[in-house]
Amino acid sequence: MDPAKKPLVSNTGAWAMNIVSSVGIIMANKQLMSSGGYGFCFATTLTGFHFAITGLVGMISNKTGYSTSKQVPFWELLWFSAVANLSITGMNFSLMLNTVGLYQISKLSIIPVVCLMEWMLHGKTFSSRVITSVLTVAFGVGVCTVTDVDINGKGFLCACVAVVCTSLQQITIGSLQKKYNIGSFDLLSKTAPIQAASLLIVGPFADYYMNKRSLLDYQFTCGAIFFILLSCSLAVFCNMSQYLCIGRFSAVSFQVLGHMKTVCVLVLGWVLFDSVLTTKNIIGMALAVVGMITYSWAVEADKLKPTKAAPLLPLKADIQAEEETMRLLKGLLKGAEPGQTKS
């Protein structure tokens, strides 16, 4: 394959993995957590399960040689894990205390907050066409998802914490990868056990506060266990692809193109769960897609603007990340073969 095309193919694969795994985990969690499904309403604890399985896969991968481990100061891993956990719990509490409309607005506000933090921390600037396309995406997704908006003090505070921590988490992923020249899955393998331990300790109490239900009282059926395992399996690919995407692109790009998942969820909800798809939803989705296409064009145009030099070859870090991901996926698929069943 032409060396200039390799990054494009691997970047597309990373985005596709993230979108498919993210949409898949949302569909699995909807069945697992909804009252019409298995009623497993322990979101924070479930996230702890996700990171526990991800950490286990990372440990096995390192032991078997599918990935390599580099040194990162423990205090930086601890700080990052604390920010990431605050992002998760903040989003959960925001969803519980706020209306769906305010919750969606808080998620949309992550994009401008990321842009602001990138400018403050790294001095990064954005062209007018990039800003216009970002606003188009946000407006389109807002038309799709935002309904009623009712603000209360506690809910607004939780939403602010969630937005700031989520933005800081996504910026820090890319910064740590560049600072220590560490692969995406290697970084995830180091942070996942810390996040799992803290979430599994705090999670049951946070979930009890949100739902007034104890995890010890939940009746685990075969169906519920199956969907928990499915959710955890998808979470491995979702977490890995998130780190891989942010390491290759930027936190802003990840947020903008990540809204494609919102569009996919709306469409699949209409197809699989008989959700209502209104004219307003369709117009909003169309605007969001146009904004995403415009954003991609604007970013590429900005890259070509300073110079029209020969196409850049893939960086060493990109090649390392791609090789690491391919080794890991081969290991996962090879490990999955004995458990396959015939239909």
- pLDDT, position 122: 74
pTM: 0.67
Q: Report which of 158, 175, 182, 147 is spatially closest to residue 67, judged by C-alpha positions.
A: 182
> For the chain, which residues make up each domain, given as ranges?
6-326
- pLDDT, position 245: 74
Query: Which position has the token pair 């007034």?
Result: 212
Q: If you compute the radius of gyration of the chain from its CA atoms, what whole number of angstroms results?
A: 20
- pLDDT, position 200: 92
What contacts 237, CB < 8 A, 6 or more positions away?
17, 20, 21
Do 180 and 21 touch, CB atoms closer than 8 A? Answer: no
- pLDDT, position 230: 93
d(CA 295, CA 218): 45
What SS3 string covers the chain? Answer: CCCCCHHHHHHHHHHHHHHHHHHHHHHHHHHHHCCCCCCCCCHHHHHHHHHHHHHHHHHHHHHHCCCCCCCCCHHHHHHHHHHHHHHHHHHHHHHHHCCHHHHHHHHHCHHHHHHHHHHHHHCCCCCHHHHHHHHHHHHHHHHHHCCCCCCCHHHHHHHHHHHHHHHHHHHHHHHHHHHHCCCHHHHHHHHHHHHHHHHHHHHHHHHHHHHCCCHHHCCCCHHHHHHHHHHHHHHHHHHHHHHHHHHHCCHHHHHHHHCHHHHHHHHHHHHHCCCCCCHHHHHHHHHHHHHHHHHHHHHHHHHHCCCCCCCCCCCHHHHHHHHHHHHHHHHHHHHHHHHCCCC
Q: What dihedral angle (degrees, nearest 10) is formed by the CA atoms of 152, 155, 158, 159?
A: -90
- pLDDT, position 34: 80
- pLDDT, position 343: 36
Which positions of the chain have pLDDT values less than 50? 1-5, 307-315, 317-318, 329, 332-333, 335-343
| Tens of pLDDT, residues 37-72 | 888 988 889 999 999 999 998 888 888 877 777 788
- pLDDT, position 209: 83
Q: Which two tokens stand for residue 230?
A: 């499915």
